[in-house]
Amino acid sequence: MLAGLRDEANVTWWGFDPHDSTEYVRAAINSGARRVRIPNVGANWVVLPINLRDDLELILEEGVVLEAKKGAYLGINHSVLNLQDVRNVTIRGYGATLKMHKDDYANPALYDKAEWRHGINVRGGTNIQILGLTIKDTGGDGIYLGRGQTKPYNENVVIRDVVADNNYRQGISVISAKGLLIENSVFRNTGGTSPEDGIDFEPNLPDEVLEDIVVRRTTIENNGGHGISFYLWNMADKEVSILVEDVVIRGNRYGIGLRGGSNLSGEIKVRDCIIEETKSSAFRMRGHRRGEAFQFTMEDCFIRHVAQDPLSAYEQPVPIYMGSGSRVGKVAFDNVVVIDDRDRPAVYGDLVSDAFFDIRGEVAVVGPFAHRVVLEGPAENVTLEAAARDFAVIPYDRISGAGGTRCCAETFGREPGVRIANLAMLKPYTTVQGDFHPQLELVSNGDVQVDSVVVRLDGGVIYTGDRLPTGGELAIDAGLLEDGLHALEIEVAYGRGKQAKTVAVFESQDVDAHVLFEEDFSGDPIGSRPANWRVQGSNVSVQVARDPHGEDGHVVHIRADAGNRRDVGIEGPAWSGAARDARVIALEFDVLYVEGSANLYVTVPGAIPLHLRLIQPGELRRGDSLISKLGAGWNRIRIVADRAAGTGQAYVWDLESPGKAPVPVTFTFRDRVNSWEGARIRFMNAVFPDQGAEVYYRNFKAWIVE
């Protein structure tokens, strides 16, 4: 071999051992042969990690199983095939399998926990081909494409006819690549540790690249995370160029996810794709780190029956979601069809800060409910619209991915839909206490003959019949449920086996058992000081008053005129009893901000875990970070605080706009605490020589979440 008299070597020339053939495979590779063949000997080739070299074609014959040695791979980054800064390497494995032992690696009694035991580990490779191989049961990714020691990217890589199945972290991670083709491949059943994506584009460092990348004729299904994730948060000052076409994304938690980086240019285009049957959104975009963005375009795509499991949605359970972070934009939807049978926006967005910008196009919606785009936040050059469509034809015969099961195009029309009128479809979900009677409605364009109705609560059947229940026929006693979120599923069968389904989520609370403090000032006379609160500070007006907007009920009015620098306000009674062992508590109240600065504290003896500020011109902040702008009228603020994690989430409702869903904003505690026992709520206006403060409050409640 070394003399160059033979081009091909067969590993069996060096030997075979069913218990460990590492030395024979390594010897064949190191022989210098340009082609090394691993033949089918009727038993698995069991190996330790193998390093490949330049100018090599490694052939795994049909039926070959290259198996990671059981009990080995103790290093947290031990991978089966390793390509470190190599050139001109082909791994050809049509009908062959590379197999590891995922369940063993996840067992802490056997292995140190890790997510980097990959099937094929390519770092800084050039002219690399991986063809025809099935890669399964790894302790990390099926394939990892990362930076090398001599250059920070892989170049000219082809992954064709590959199946990545049941891998621990990702089907494939693309960390850095210039010139990458993934085609006619399948990425499925990824699960074990986050992110659990089929394909994850995720550079780790600013100098890594994603250029000239194509994914086509590929199927991505049943992964625990995204079908495809573009997580570009760590990229900076680079041009991105990625095309995804003729891809079927089915049955994943999310379809496609996008998070931008810093000052990126270029384009990601998704065209001629089908995204269907996801648990949560088909497309979710969570903003850019800074600077103007590259363009994201989705064109000639179909989104069908997505966001089917609201409990799996980190944000809102809608087909297309944009927001949650800061600036979101440079997005276009051209000839995108959404087939959806639930009462919700086809596109929903919310922002904590900044604005939506340069979002255009039209989303056609096929379904029984109103078609709409809802973007909650400032908008710059946003022309995106939703339009109703009576039917759509999904060309499964043309957009088939790899290994598709449908042979023909299918037509989907505007079928009847079912909804629960008194439960919110978007977060925050409706809070239910005591007896609850769901109001079920069947919505259609004409008469519908109902054959059967099944109602399930958390998977268990609570009603069956040949019609929708009316009046008080369907009742749920929330007091018998465990506190927390519950899923109510309605399934209506009609007309020759057709079905209308929906799922709504509600939150049950046993208020009597878990309330720590509640105050509506109804027992205090108008003009008096609130009896259950202690007034702090001098020259301050604190009194129970009528609602300044004329609404029913009593409020507390705190006003302090400009003067010497001081803090003035009120403090509630100490929590005791069940607060001692509570981990997560919730605090809710209404506020009408007038002027000045005010502070909200939750104090415990010796510490202040929660501190939020109200400042002009009506903003709720944690430190210098904006949580939400307040409406001009009454606003409802809910804070959910986890002392074990040292974090909280704040929700703000503008009660003048009841249909607007709040954006949960996470913040860290000012001080960590070990118990909520002895905690108090304190509201203090900050007075300055040139500025007073005036705020109204009402409807206080604090309770234990868990």
Please spell the DSSP secondary structure of 587-651, one letter per residue: EEEEEEEEESEEEEEEEETTEEEEEEEEETTTEEEETTEEEEEPPSS-EEEEEEEETTTTEEEEE
Q: For residue 145, is pLDDT > 90? A: yes
pLDDT class for 664, splitting at 50, 70, 90? confident
Residue 147, number of CB atoms within 10 A of its CB: 21
pLDDT class for 252, splitting at 50, 70, 90? very high
Q: Residue 483: CB partners within 8 Å, gap ≥ 6?
A: 507, 508, 509, 510, 514, 705, 706
Which is more confidently placed, 703 or 592?
592
pLDDT class for 37, splitting at 50, 70, 90? very high
Q: What is the mean pLDDT of residues 112-141?
A: 97
Residue 286 has a pLDDT of 85
Q: What is the mean pLDDT of residues 564-578?
A: 80
Q: What is the mean pLDDT of residues 105-118?
A: 95
Quick check: helix, strand or coil at residue 478? helix
Q: For residue 4, is pLDDT > 60? A: no
Nearest 5°: the CA angle 655, 658, 660 is 110
Q: Which of 291, 351, 368, 289 is nearest to 316 (CA)?
A: 351
pLDDT digits (tens, 9 = 90+) for 295-334: 999 999 999 999 999 888 878 899 999 986 667 889 999 9
Nearest 5°: the CA angle 432, 555, 609 is 70
Element of type H or E holding 551: none
> Is-contact 494 450, C-beta < 8 A?
yes
Element of type H or E holding 498: strand 498-508
Q: What is the mean pLDDT of residues 563-570?
A: 78
Cα distance between residue 419 and residue 395, in whole Å: 29
Q: Residue 189: CB partners within 8 Å, gap ≥ 6?
A: 165, 166, 167, 221, 222, 223
Element of type H or E holding 350: strand 347-350
Residue 402 has a pLDDT of 73
Residue 404 has a pLDDT of 58
Which is more confidently placed, 344 or 448?
344
Residue 105, phi then psi, degrees to nearest 5: -65, -25
Q: What is the DSSP letter of 234?
A: T
Half-sphere exposure of 431 (CA within 13 A, CB side): 10
Q: What is the mean pLDDT of residues 573-579?
A: 81
Q: For residue 661, is pLDDT > 60? A: no
> Is-contact 176 152, C-beta < 8 A?
yes
Q: What is the mean pLDDT of residues 478-502?
A: 87
Domains of the chain plus CATH, in order, are 40-394 (2.160.20.10), 416-509 (2.60.40.10), 512-704 (2.60.120.200)
Predicted TM-score (pTM) of this structure: 0.75
Residue 690 has a pLDDT of 85
Which is more confidently placed, 336 or 632?
336
Q: Of 65-79, 390-404, 499-513, 514-528, which one has max mean pLDDT?
A: 65-79
Residue 325 has a pLDDT of 62
Is the backbone of residue 277 left (phi > 0), alpha (psi -120 to 50) or beta?
A: left
Q: What is the mean pLDDT of residues 371-392?
A: 92
pLDDT class for 391, splitting at 50, 70, 90? very high
Percent of all residues in the chain with a pLDDT value above 70, rounded to a whole number: 95
Q: For residue 659, is pLDDT > 60? A: no
